[in-house]
C-alpha cells in the first residue's frame, strides 16, 4: 500500500492576497504630498502618545521594563523613546507598539473592522533604528534607513490595514483587529530588511496563518490591559516572522483562501494606494474613537447647562444618546468598571465625567484607577441616567466611503421638562475638519513630549520635525532625540 505524498508546496503560486500585498509594498511609488504630510503628523503624534503612556501610566512603564533584571542595554539595539533602554529588535518592537497604543490616544480608522494604523510604527521604528545603527557601525551607507523610508513604510502599512478594514469584519468571528497590524507590519518590515520578494511573500504568508488573538480582552467581563499591549504583541511577531523568512523559512502558499473570516472571502473595495493615511482620524481628544463626537456634543451641552446655572446631577432627568452601530458594540457598557481599560471604553463614563468637569474634555488621567472620578458616586448616578441606541442613518454614513462620519447626538431632558439637544457628525482630527487638524495634532504632540522632556528638548524635536530633510536623515539620529 502506497502512502499518499503531500503536494509540493513550492510549485504552487502564492494566494493572490499575499502577492497583492507584497507587490504593493515593493512596487508602489508614493508621490502624494498630502500622504507624506499626514504621515509626518502621524509619526510625531505616535511618538507623543508613546511618551504620554510612559508619563501617565505606571502599568505601561512596568510593562516595557526589560524582562530580565539588568538587561537594559543591547549593543546596537533599539533606543526606546523616553527611556535609556537599548533593546533587541523583538522586544523593542513590542515596547514601542505597546507604548503607542496603551492609553488609546493614537490615531484611528474605521470600517466594518476598526483599528489604529499607527500601531504598526512599533515594528517600523524598531526595525529601521536597529538596521540603521548596524549600517552606521559597519560603514555601510547603503544600509542606512532614512526617516523618509519610515514615512513610506508608515503610509503603506496604514494602507494595507485600512483597506482590509473597510469591508472585512474580523470582530464578527471573534478575531482581534491586530491580525491586520501583524500582516501589514510583516510586509513593510520585510521591505525594510531588504528581503527579496519571495522571502517577503513567505513572511506575509506566515503572518496570515499565525495564531491570532481573540478579541475577548476587549469585551466585558474580560476587558483589561491586554488591549493596550495587543498591538505591541503583533509588532513583535511581525519582526520575528520577517526574520525567519530572511533566515530561509519557506512560505505557506494558500492561507487566506482557507479563511481568517470563516467561509467568507476577503473584500478589498479599493486598490492599495495612499488613501488611508489621507483619511485617518487623529485623536485630538482622549476618547475611544467612536465616542469622540459624543464627547464634543457633551461639552457643548455642558456650556448650555452652565449658562442656565443648572447642575448636571440635580437638574438632569435623563440623557439619551444616538450613535453608530460600532459605538453600540464597543463602548456601550453598563455595570461595574473595574479598571482603566473598562472606563476608556465606556461612553457613559466619558459623558458623565465631561458633564461633571463643566464641559472640560475627558483626559487620560480621568480613566486611571487613582482618578477621583473612578470612585465618584456622581459619575455612577449620571451613568444610570444615560440610555443609548443605534441611529441607522449614522451607521450608513459611517460606512459610506464618501462621508465616513462618526456621528453622535445627545438629548438631555431636564427635570423642569425642557430639553437640550446637541450633535456632532465629525470629530476633531477627522479629514472633514482638515484645517483644524494639523495645528491641534502639533499642540497635542508638544504637550505630550513636555511630560518627559524640557522645553528646550521639545523645541529641538519640533524644529527637527519642521525643517529637516527627512530624505537624508538616518532613523537613528531622529530616534536619539527622544532618548533619556
Say whether both 251 and 397 belong to one domain. no
Determine the length of the chain: 484
pLDDT, position 262: 63
> Distance (Å, rounded) from C-alpha 344 to C-alpha 256?
33
- Is 433 a member of any domain? no
CA-wise closest residue to 240 among 95, 125, 76, 90: 90
Say whether both 23 and 130 belong to one domain. yes
- Is 145 a member of any domain? yes
Say whether both 381 and 404 belong to one domain. yes
Number of domains in the chain: 2
- Is 466 a member of any domain? no
Given 412, 427, 442, which residue is the final one in a domain?
427
Say whether both 278 and 293 belong to one domain. no
- Is 445 a member of any domain? no
> Distance (Å, rounded) from C-alpha 356 to C-alpha 359?
7
Say whether both 251 and 299 belong to one domain. no
pLDDT, position 263: 64
For 430-448, the DSSP string reads SGGGHHHHHHHHHHHHHHH
Non-local (6+) Cβ contacts of 174 within 8 A are: 214, 215, 216
Which ranges constitute the DSSP H helices of 168-264?
A: 178-192, 197-209, 226-246, 255-258
Say whether both 69 and 206 belong to one domain. yes
CATH number of the domain that residue 386 is part of: 3.30.1330.120
C-alpha 329 chain-centroid distance:
18
Residue 82's domain spans which residues? 15-284+474-482
Local structure of 410: helix, strand or coil? strand
**DSSP label at residue 313:** H
Residue 10, number of CB atoms within 10 A of its CB: 8
Question: Looking at the DSSP assignment, which residues form a beta bridge with residue 109?
Answer: 115
Give the relative orientation of helices 121-138 and 226-246 as an angle to the nearest 10 degrees: 40
> Distance (Å, rounded) from C-alpha 91 to C-alpha 460?
28
Low-confidence ranges of the chain (pLDDT < 50): 1-6
Strand locations in 112-212 (E)? 114-115
Local structure of 68: helix, strand or coil? coil
CA-wise closest residue to 481 among 463, 466, 460: 460
- Is 328 a member of any domain? yes
Cβ contacts of 416-423, under 8 Å, gap ≥ 24: 416/315, 420/301, 420/304, 420/305, 422/297, 422/298, 422/300, 422/301, 422/304, 423/293, 423/297
Say whether both 316 and 225 belong to one domain. no
CATH number of the domain that residue 275 is part of: 1.10.4100.10
For residue 134, give the H/E element and its range.
Answer: helix 121-138
In this structure, are residues 339 and 224 in contact, taking their beta carbons and an 8 Å threshold? yes
Any idea which residue has 469585551 for its cell? 219
> Distance (Å, rounded) from C-alpha 189 to C-alpha 154?
10
In this structure, are residues 279 and 177 in contact, taking their beta carbons and an 8 Å threshold? no
Say whether both 272 and 359 belong to one domain. no
Say whether both 276 and 317 belong to one domain. no
Say whether both 372 and 320 belong to one domain. yes
pLDDT, position 255: 79
Local structure of 216: helix, strand or coil? helix
Local structure of 208: helix, strand or coil? helix
Local structure of 258: helix, strand or coil? helix
Local structure of 281: helix, strand or coil? strand
Say whether both 326 and 224 belong to one domain. no
**DSSP label at residue 453:** S
Say whether both 107 and 220 belong to one domain. yes
- Is 436 a member of any domain? no
- Is 1 a member of any domain? no
Local structure of 380: helix, strand or coil? helix
Q: Exposed (0-12), middle (13-18) or buried (19+): which is 176, by Cβ within 10 Å?
A: buried
- Is 346 a member of any domain? yes
Would you say the C-alpha torsion 165, 224, 241, 196 has a positive or negative sign?
positive
Amino acid at each position: 500500500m502506497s502512502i499518499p505524498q503531500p503536494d509540493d508546496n513550492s510549485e504552487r503560486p502564492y494566494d493572490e492576497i499575499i502577492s497583492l500585498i507584497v507587490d504593493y509594498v515593493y512596487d508602489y511609488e508614493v508621490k502624494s504630498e498630502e500622504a507624506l504630510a499626514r504621515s509626518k503628523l502621524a509619526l510625531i503624534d505616535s511618538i507623543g502618545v508613546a511618551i504620554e503612556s510612559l508619563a501617565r501610566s505606571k502599568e505601561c512603564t512596568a510593562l516595557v521594563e526589560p524582562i530580565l533584571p539588568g538587561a537594559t542595554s543591547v549593543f546596537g539595539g533599539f533606543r526606546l523613546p523616553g527611556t535609556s533602554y537599548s533593546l533587541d529588535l523583538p522586544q523593542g518592537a513590542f515596547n514601542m507598539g505597546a507604548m503607542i497604543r496603551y492609553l488609546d490616544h493614537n490615531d484611528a480608522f474605521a470600517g466594518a473592522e476598526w483599528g489604529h494604523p499607527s500601531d504598526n510604527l512599533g515594528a517600523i521604528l524598531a526595525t529601521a533604528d536597529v538596521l540603521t545603527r548596524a549600517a552606521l557601525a559597519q560603514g555601510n551607507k547603503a544600509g542606512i534607513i532614512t526617516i523618509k523610508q519610515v514615512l513610506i513604510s508608515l503610509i503603506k502599512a496604514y494602507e494595507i490595514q485600512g483597506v482590509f478594514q473597510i469591508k472585512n469584519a474580523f470582530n464578527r468571528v471573534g478575531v482581534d483587529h491586530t491580525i491586520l497590524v501583524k500582516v501589514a507590519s510583516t510586509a513593510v518590515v520585510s521591505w525594510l530588511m531588504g528581503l527579496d520578494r519571495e522571502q517577503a511573500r513567505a513572511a506575509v504568508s506566515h503572518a496570515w496563518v499565525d495564531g491570532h488573538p481573540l478579541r475577548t480582552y476587549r469585551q466585558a467581563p474580560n476587558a483589561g490591559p491586554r488591549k493596550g499591549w495587543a498591538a505591541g504583541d503583533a509588532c513583535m511577531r511581525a519582526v520575528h516572522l520577517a526574520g525567519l523568512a530572511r533566515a530561509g523559512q519557506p512560505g505557506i502558499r494558500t492561507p487566506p483562501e482557507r479563511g481568517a473570516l470563516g467561509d467568507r472571502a476577503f473584500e478589498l473595495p479599493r486598490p492599495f494606494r495612499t488613501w488611508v493615511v489621507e483619511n485617518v482620524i487623529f485623536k485630538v481628544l482622549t476618547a475611544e474613537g467612536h465616542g469622540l463626537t459624543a464627547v464634543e456634543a457633551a461639552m457643548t451641552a455642558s456650556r448650555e447647562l452652565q449658562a442656565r446655572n443648572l447642575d448636571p446631577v440635580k437638574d438632569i432627568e435623563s440623557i439619551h444618546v444616538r450613535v453608530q452601530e460600532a459605538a453600540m458594540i464597543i463602548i456601550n457598557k453598563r455595570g461595574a468598571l473595574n479598571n482603566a481599560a473598562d472606563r476608556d471604553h465606556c461612553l457613559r463614563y466619558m459623558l458623565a465625567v465631561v458633564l461633571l468637569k463643566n464641559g472640560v474634555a475627558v483626559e487620560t488621567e480621568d480613566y486611571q484607577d487613582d482618578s477621583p472620578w473612578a470612585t465618584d458616586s456622581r459619575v455612577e448616578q449620571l451613568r444610570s441616567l444615560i440610555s443609548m441606541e443605534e441611529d441607522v442613518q449614522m451607521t450608513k454614513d459611517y460606512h459610506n466611503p464618501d462621508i465616513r462620519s462618526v456621528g453622535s447626538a445627545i438629548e438631555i431632558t431636564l427635570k423642569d421638562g425642557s430639553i437640550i439637544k446637541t450633535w456632532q457628525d465629525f470629530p476633531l482630527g477627522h479629514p472633514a475638519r482638515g484645517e483644524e487638524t494639523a495645528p491641534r495634532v502639533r499642540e497635542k504632540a508638544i504637550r505630550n513630549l513636555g511630560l518627559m522632556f524640557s522645553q528646550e528638548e521639545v523645541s529641538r524635536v519640533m524644529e527637527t520635525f519642521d525643517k529637516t530633510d527627512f530624505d537624508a536623515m538616518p532613523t537613528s539620529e531622529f530616534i536619539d532625540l527622544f532618548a533619556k
